[in-house]
Structure 1
Amino acid sequence: MAAMLKLSLSYLSRSKIQNLFIALLILLSTLLVSTAVIILANTGNQFKNMHDQTNGSHQILTFEKGLNDPNDVHQWWTAQKGIEVSPLLTYHTLSGITFKGMDIPNVYLYMLNTPSPPWGVDELIFSSETARNDVPEQGKVWIPTSLANAYNISVGDTVGFKTGSSTLDLKVSDIVVDLPYGAPFTNTARVWMNPTDYQTDFDSIAGKDNYMMGIHFDDYSTNSSYWERYASETGTPFLEAKMEFESISSFYLIINQIIGFIMIFLGIVMLVIALITIGFTISDAILANYKTIGILKSMGLTSSRTIGTYVIQYSLLSVVAILPGLALSVVISKFIISISVSSLQVGNRHIAINGISEAILVGVCLFALVILFVVMYAKKARSIQPVQAIRYGMSEVDNTRIANRINSPLGNWVGFARLPVAVVIGIRNLIKNTKSSVLMLLLTTMASSVLVLGYVLLTSITGIYQTAAQWGYDNANIAAVVVNKNTFPQAELKQALGKDSRIRNVGWQGNITGVVSPESSSEMQGQSTSLYLSVLDGSYQELGFETLKGDNPRQANEVAIGVSVAKTLNKELGDLIDLYIEGEKRTFIITGIYQAIANMSVSGRITIDAMRTVNPSYGDFDAIFINLKDPTQADTIAGELNEQFKASASVVTQKTLLDSVYAEAADILIYPMSLIGLLFILATFIIIFSTCRISIRKESRTYGIYKSIGMTSRRIRLSVAMGITILSAIGAILGTAVGVYVLSMLLEMVLSGYGIVHLPLILNWGGIILFACLSIGAATLGSWFSSRVIREASPRMLVIE
């Protein structure tokens, strides 16, 4: 045992840099895999814990169209068993705020008349720990974390809420977690007002009160039976807007699921590469010490003890690397989780992190895998024959194989005789060390794919306005969102748009709730389902709405449906679907299927003609889409229209509208994607440094001969680096294809649950090539630094080695 330990320590001390890098590689593998495990273990937990703590809603009903009496609906649901209902909340809608001199137009607000507690459902979690009143004090409001985080609003700040021609200045007295309307990257928020302020401030503002209520089911899966009973007892289905639990939770979960998926996939890849690298390092260490092992075996050292020396060596390295890797993974995962669920965190409240035990288990499994690979590869030492070891420095079979590889047809096909000497040396190094070359090719491919995926994903989100139609939005230049329908001068806006010669076309959009008849599909098994229906007075094609299959509706009997609806109902183009609209049944032909991240593709599109077969006087529009003859004038025209109609509408460019929603998503994603990219760049440097160091040590005699015949150290090092650069360039090309096409396809599997089955990517090839080349730089630097031993050693010492 003492001999084994002494040999292990000698191996550690003799190759300090290489062993340091192997330990660092194990640490990085542990860090990435355990961080991914912790993030996945916490995906959904933070939201679920907060939903349980606040007794959150499963469905939110809003009453704005006058199609159902809010008091009757509230009374019916209050009388049901197995559910809890929030108070009937009264609110006015406003659009836009001013804060610290900034004008922020694209914020849509429900200004609530705060009822006295207890509410029973959607209880608020407050940022301050001090005692507070049951409702906000006069002149003060409570705002949600989503609004506070988006614009860095703190307790004590004064926010101006736009009421049209004037501004309502109110002081923020507390920041709250408001689960139904507090998801990240949203531009809709509930603001809780003092009841006296609400009555005083909105008495002078035209428009009627609107209402909303939340429903919490003891068993959410039974909600369909309640709604069937509601329709049966009241004689009509619910016709107002209904927000489902899936929509409430989706944006809380989507970022963590994307991050967790990417990290666990790439963490496994990193782990596989690390284990292969360790096995490769052991194989080459055995080969490099072939003579020494042969001599030791001739002196009586058994094969088992020879294997044991490597087990001890890598056990020590693993313990030293895995423990700090686990500790760092907890810190990093907590940071990533905190920024991805920041809207669920208030004040200095501690975030409970789950999955620590799973991370420890990952560390134990990684240690066991390292030892398993050590034993598997170190078993090669059993076959070492002392005589062959002393004569060839390797087995006779390996010696013959390497000689045949150098003289293979590949070498002749490449045409070594016609290439410059430096190129020949570089390529010879790759051909002779096939296993290490394959490993480096795999590594640079994966590193490039990770960097390219991160760049493409962030570019696609920050530039979402360029692919808005593929995400389910319109592609118009300007959007006017109606805030106060009671005072909205629809005829005046129509006249203004009709007279403006700069405008090419206009579309007026309304939103209603459609109920799918159970007879429409055998998949529904007697249950009805609601979907968001878009009603457009205009052309879907002209306004840029896209479909995955088929076309948008043009006739009164046509409909386009979201992919989630098509999947749930098992519908295809040309099929019929029955929809109840305002209580009346209509049959439509499905002409198109589209994807939309909004409402998770549980939606449909119909024409104004279809709506007017139900309600001939329909004119309840929520948004107006405007296309310009010259899109560069969008900011100017939007500003003019917003100033003219600011009392009841918010007019902004499409870019402003989308940036306000998705900029936060990009800000959250940039940190984990940057971390993963840096880890892979570091791993590329480490592994290529290590493998090149091994191959240089094996070829030390050859390089000594090169130096003795007049080649400079710099020229030899450049030759080695040139070969690695060529190999990594091939890897970067393959990695670019993998990152753009393969990994994005895997990511679509995650997003399909959110209504996106085809990920709209923006491919900026200049940036893609730049990020792909980062792995080439890391590989080149790794090979260059590893070859310093050639510069530092004399030809005589190299030949002696």
Structure 2
Amino acid sequence: MAVMFKLSLSYLSKNKVQNLFITLLILLSTLLVCTSIIILANTGNQFNEMHSRTNGSHQILTFDKGLNDPQTVHDWWAAQNGVQISTLLAYQTLSGITFDGTDIPNIYLYMMNTPPPPWDVDKLVFAAGKESSSPAQGSVWIPTSLANSHNIIVGDTIQFKTGSTTLDLAVSAVVVDVPYGAPFTNTARIWMNSTDYQHDFSTLAGKEHYMMGIHFDDYSMSSSYWNRYKNEAGAPLLETKMEFESISSFYLIINQIVGFIMIFLGAVMMMIALITIGFTISDAILANYKTIGILKSLGLTSRATIGTYVIQYSLLSIIAVLPGFALSMLVSKFIINISVSSLRTGTSDLPVEGVGAAILVGLLLFILVIVFVIFYAKKARMIEPVQAIRYGMSEDENVAMAKRMNSPLANVASFGRLPISFVIGLRSLIRNSKNSVLIILLTSIAASVLVFGYVVLTSITGIDQTAAKWGYDNANIAAVVVNKTTFPRAELQNVLEEDPRIQNVGWQGNITGVIPSDVSSRNPASQSISLYLGVLDGSYEDFGFETLRGNNPERENEISIGVSAAKMLNKDLGDLIDIYIEGEKRTFIISGIYQAISNMSVSGRITVQAVRSVNPRYSDIDVAFINVINPSQAGAVAAQLNEQFKYSASIVTQKTLLDSVYTEAANILIYPMALIGLLFIIVTFMIIFSTCRISIRKENKTYGIYKSVGMTSGSIRSSITLGVILLSLIGAMFGVIAGVYLLPLLLEKVLSGYGIVQIPLVLNWWGIILFSCLSILAAAFGSWRSSKVIRQASPRILVIE
């Protein structure tokens, strides 16, 4: 045992730099894998904890269509056992908000009449400001999502547009409002003082609406309640019903994306680490072949020889795994805090779970290292002392190397036909075939990760280029209505018709379509489904709405539905579907199926004629889509129209609307993606440095001969680096293909649950090439630095060795 331990310490002290890099590699593998485990373990934990703490709603009923009496529905639910409900919450809607002199686009506001406590459902948690029973007069409570995304703090004043006037209200508190406080949302509940609410909205045109929250003791039983409601009321609920899945979706999406990607890439890095350790041991055995042979001839057993490597890498693993785990706690906490910042209260961090699972993963990594060490170190059993002393390797390996060096490829690489620098680099690659394969594999993986991260971020920041593929329109300008009752549609219509820069205009509203439970052939016992229906007065094709299959509706009896709705209802193109619209049943034929991240694709598109067959006076408008003849003028046209109609509509370019939502997502994703990319660059450098260092040591005599015949250290080092660059170039080419076409399939697995089954990618090939070259640079730098030993040694010493 003492001999084994001394030999292990000897190997550790002899190859300090190489062992340092192996330790760092194990550390980074532990960091990435444990971080991903903790993130996945906390994917729903933070939301579920806050939802439980606030006794959050599982469903939100919004009575905005006038099709059901709010009080009657509220009374029915109040009489049910096993559920808790909120009071009827009165509200009025606004769409215009200004902060610090700047309009905030794409924000839909529910101006709430704050009820007195106690609240049985959806209790508000104060994140900032003084806790009180209701906002003071002249002040409001705003959700954390709105405050965080626009840097609004307690004491700031916000202007709410109500038409020709504004409401100037101070922020007295920032609250966690679970149903309407998710990140990336464009909807917010603003909690007003009851006296302010009555006074400010009494003089405004517009109808007061109500909403209520329902909390089930057992959410899985919700369908039985709704079936009972349908039977007793004689019809399903015709108003808007928001499900728990929609409430939770945007709280979870970022962590799911990051965690899913990191667990895969962490597993890849772990595999690279284990393979690298195996290659290192194999090369170490080969480099010390004569020494091991002599020791075995002196009586050292094969088991003791293997034990020296086990002890060596056990010490390195212990040194690496513990700090790797500790760093993973810090990194995962940072990512979790920024991804669910809207659930944070005050300056305290959110509690982190999954530590036990991360410890088990760290232990598993340690065990895997030892298993791989034993597996590769078994080669030492086959060492024959005589062959080791004569060849410095086994006789079979000596014959195999001679065959490689005399192969047709090696013969092509002759001094008479190719430049010397190229020949030296190529023969080094042929001689060390395992290292060459590792370099290609490593640079391929590193390039794929870097390219994938770049493609994901550019696809989100450039979402305006693929908006239609995400389920949005592709119009140049959108005029978002501030107050529907005062919106001068006719006046805006006249202005747009007289403007020669305008190409066409479409008017879109929305209604809630209700699909009764017996429509779904897949699950007849399921509850009725509330389907968000976009209603367009105009052509869907003119404004760029796309479908995955089929076409958008053109006739009164046609509908296109989202992929999630099609899956839930087991429907396909050409099928018929019955939908209640404003209380009347209509039958549609499915003309198209599309994907949309909004409403998780539980939605549909119909024509305005379809609604007017039920309600001939329908003219509800949420937004006007405007196309200009020259897209470069969109910004100027939007600015002019916004100035003219600033009291009744928010008129901005489509890019402005999309950026208001997705810039925040990109800002959050950039940190974990940058971390992953940096780790893989570091790993690429470390492994190639280590493998090249081993190869150079084995070729000391050859390089000594090169220097003795007049070659400089720089030319030899350049030759070695050139060979690595050629291999890295091949690896980077494979990496680009994987990063652009294969790894995005991972992201589709996550986003399919949010209504996106085909990820719309923005491919900037110059940027893709640039990021793929980072892996080549890391490999080249690692090779160049490892060859520094050639410069430091004299030809005489090298030849003697």
TM category, shorter:
over 0.9
Moved more, 778-787 or 741-750: 741-750
Structure 2: where are the runs of 5+ without partners?
none
* Counterpart position of 2:712: 712
Match of 1:550 in 2: 550
Residue matched to 1:204: 203
How far residue 443 of structure 1 moved from its aligned partner, in angstroms, is 0.8
Match of 1:568 in 2: 568
Call closer, same or farther: CA 1:344–1:556 in 2, change over 3 Å: same
Residue type matched to 1:45 in 2?
Answer: N
Report the CA distance shift for 1:448/1:174 in structure 2 as closer, same or farther (over 3 A). Answer: same
Secondary structure of residue in 1 paired with 2:466: helix
CA distance in 2 between partners of 1:24 and 1:350 (Å): 29
Please say if 1:289 is aligned against 2:292: no
What's the CA shift string for 1:182-219, capped at 9, x where partnerless? 11012221111111111222223222222211111112
Q: Distance in 2 between matches of 1:175 and 1:519?
A: 43
Structure 2 length-normalised TM: 0.98
Shift of 1:616: 1.9
1:128 offset after TM fit, Å? 4.2
Measured in 2, the distance between the counterparts of 1:559 and 1:113 equals 37
Q: Is the contact between residue 91 and residue 211 of structure 1 (CA under 8 Å) also seen in structure 2?
A: yes
Matched, 1:2 2:8: no
Shift of 1:70: 1.8
The code of the aligned residue for 1:788 comes to K
Deviation at 1:413, TM superposition (A): 5.5
CA shift at 1:525, angstroms? 1.3
Deviations 1:209-268 (A, max 9, x none): 222111111122222222222233223322222211111111111100000011000000
State how far apart, in whole Å, the 2-side matches of 1:647 and 1:99 are. Answer: 15
Deviations 1:745-778 (A, max 9, x none): 1211111111100000000001000000000000
| Cα deviations by residue, 1:610-652 (Å, 9 ceiling, x for unpaired) | 2222222211122211111112222222223223333332222
Larger deviation: 696-705 or 491-500? Answer: 491-500
Match of 2:15 in 1: 15
Summarize the alignment of residues 505-584 of structure 1 with structure 2, pairs less than 5 Å apart. 505-527=504-526, 528-584=528-584
Matching of residue 338 in structure 1 with residue 337 in structure 2: yes
What pairs with 1:599-678 in structure 2 (closer than 5 Å)? 599-678=599-678
For 1:46 and 1:577, the matched residues in 2 are separated by 38
- Specify the alignment match of 2:319 in structure 1: 320
The answer to whether the 8 A contact 1:448-1:772 is kept is: yes
Conserved 8 A contact 1:531-1:603: yes
In the aligned structure 2, how far is the partner of 1:291 from the partner of 1:248? 68
> Residue in 2 aligned with 1:179?
178
Segments of 4+ in structure 1 off by > 6 A?
A: none
CA displacement at 1:414 relative to structure 2: 6.2
Residue range with higher mean Cα deviation, 306-315 or 161-170: 161-170
Confirm or deny that 1:745 pairs with 2:717.
Answer: no
Cα pair 1:96 1:650 within 8 Å, conserved: yes
Name the aligned partner's letter for residue 641 of structure 2. L
**CA separation in 2, counterparts of 1:532 and 1:394?**
72
Q: 1:73 to 1:651 in 2, by over 3 A?
A: farther
RMSD: 1.4
> Does 2:774 match 1:782?
no
Q: Is the 8 A contact 1:146 1:343 kept in 2?
A: yes
Q: Are the aligned partners of 1:237 and 1:583 in contact in 2 as well (CA < 8 Å)?
A: no
Equivalent residue, structure 2, for 1:98: 98
Whole-angstrom CA distance in 2 between matches of 1:292 and 1:789? 22
Q: Distance in 1 between matches of 2:408 and 2:516?
A: 70
SS at match of 1:106: coil
Tell me the SS of whatever aligns to 1:279. Answer: helix
Q: AA paired with 2:380?
A: A
The 10-residue stretch of structure 1 (212-221 or 778-787) with the greater mean CA deviation from structure 2: 212-221
Conservation of the 8 A alpha-carbon contact between 1:84 and 1:120: yes
CA distance in 2, matches of 1:99, 1:487: 22
Aligned to 1:36: 36
More off after superposition, 461-470 vs 194-203: 194-203
Query: Could you tell me how far 1:417 is from its partner in structure 2?
Result: 4.3
Verify the 8 A CA contact 2:238 2:513 in the aligned structure 1: yes
Deviation (angstroms), 1:518: 4.1
For residues 376-406 of structure 1, what are the alpha-carbon distances to aligned partners after superposition, in whole Å with 9 as ceiling and x for unaligned?
1111111101111111110111011011011
User: C-alpha displacement at 1:362, in angstroms?
Assistant: 1.1
Secondary structure in structure 1 of the residue aligned to 2:98: strand
On the 8 A contact 1:405/1:431 being kept in 2, the answer is: yes
Give secondary structure in 1 for the equivalent of 2:206.
Answer: coil
2:361 corresponds to 1:362: yes
**Which residue of the partner structure matches residue 246 of structure 1?**
245
Number of residue pairs the alignment of both structures matches: 800
Structure 1 residue ranges without an equivalent (≥5): none
Percentage of identical aligned residues: 71
Give the residue type in structure 1 aligned to 2:480. Answer: V
Which range is displaced more, 734-743 or 99-108? 99-108
1:129 Cα deviation after fit: 8.1
Contact 2:337–2:349 under 8 Å retained in 1 = no
1:224, 1:349 → 2: CA distance?
Answer: 38
User: Could you tell me which residue of structure 1 aligns to residue 124 of structure 2?
Assistant: 124
C-alpha distance in structure 2 between counterparts of 1:353 and 1:63, whole Å: 38
Residue 327 of structure 2 aligns with an amino acid whose one-letter code is L
CA contact (8 A) 2:129 2:172 kept: no
How far off is 1:514 after superposition?
Answer: 1.3
Larger displacement relative to structure 2 (214-223 or 671-680):
214-223
CA deviations on 1:60-80 (whole Å, 9 max, x unpaired) are 122222222222222222222
- C-alpha separation in 2, matches of 1:71 and 1:501: 50
Q: Is the 8 A contact 2:162 2:483 kept in 1?
A: no
**Equivalent pair of 1:520/1:576 in contact (CA under 8 Å):** no
Moved more, 690-699 or 511-520: 511-520
Amino acid at match of 1:273: I
Distance 2:616 2:286 in 1: 86
- Contact kept, 8 Å, 2:562 with 2:601, in 1: the verdict is yes
The separation in 1 between residues aligned to 2:216 and 2:416, in whole angstroms, is 79
Structural mapping, 1:2-401, within 5 Å: 2-128=2-128, 132-401=131-400
User: 1:415: how far off?
Assistant: 6.8
1:520 and 1:103 mapped to 2: Cα distance? Answer: 44
